Amino acid sequence: MRRIAFFVEGQTEQVFVNRLVKEILGTQQINIIQKQFRGGTNIPKQEIVRNMSFSRNPRFEVLIFDCGADNRVKSEIMDNIINLREKGYEKIIGLRDLYPIPVDDLERLEKGLHYLPHKFKKEAPYFDIIIAIHEIEAWFMAETHHFQKIDKRLANGKFIRDRLGFDPYLVNPEQRVHPAKDLDNIYRLVGKSYTKKYNATVRVVNKLDYNHIRNQIRYDIDSLDKLMGIIENIRK
């Protein structure tokens, strides 16, 4: 059985990665364990199991940790990478947003996040971190097919541009500084909203067109393409 672990910034990333691995690896031969870290500063840190799904004859095992904050992704990886490697996890991947760090600091951030102390030299080849520019919601906004599933009026880019001053069908979503806010503003045009609440996130993630993501969107967004490539390599 092939194993991969993801350490993600928050619940939104966890929900999306959970759906993405099912789209790429299928749902019949996969174990998925979703966990959340709580505490860790002034109170003892706990691992909470948020959800589990198991197959009778699994080929893959995917572990997805919600780290609870962008700045905890790497530290949680370092706390767990040796143990995960001993358990047979062949890839340990971090996923976090760039926001609120400016894009001019992306290279410096990437360099810092990819550095591992010497004691992790043996584990380093199995570790990587992916940064979504500026937020993972840029990936959602790039998948414009889902807008008409929210409301048919949102299928018209001019309808959005006339009210918000930009057309999500034409802009590069990675150039939008706060795409989560952009999504909320777009949805509010038709009486809906975008929030970080679990059920709301699941609804949006389930409306995304994954054929569109796999066949087109990924090639416009390097970070998304990298994430998908890592998952696809597990399938080989």
The residues, any chain, with a CB within 8 Å of residue 121's CB and separated by 6 or more, are none
pLDDT of residue 39: 74
Three-state DSSP state, 98: coil
Residue limits of CATH 3.40.50 in the chain:
2-133+221-235
| pTM for this entry | 0.95
pLDDT of residue 42: 73
How many whole angstroms separate alpha carbon 8 and alpha carbon 137? 14
pLDDT of residue 188: 98
- Which parts of 87-197 fold into alpha helices (H)? 106-114, 137-142, 147-150, 157-164, 179-188
pLDDT tens digits along 71-91: 999 999 999 999 999 999 999
Reported in sequence order, the residue ranges of the chain that DSSP labels E, i.e. its strands, are: 2-8, 30-38, 46-53, 60-66, 89-97, 127-132
Q: What is the CATH number of domain 2-133+221-235?
A: 3.40.50
pLDDT tens digits along 198-223: 999 999 999 999 999 999 999 999 99
Q: Which residues of the chain have pLDDT under 70?
A: 40-41
Exposure class string for 6-16: b at 16+ Cβ within 10 A, else e: bbbbbbbbbbb
How many whole angstroms separate alpha carbon 191 and alpha carbon 211? 28
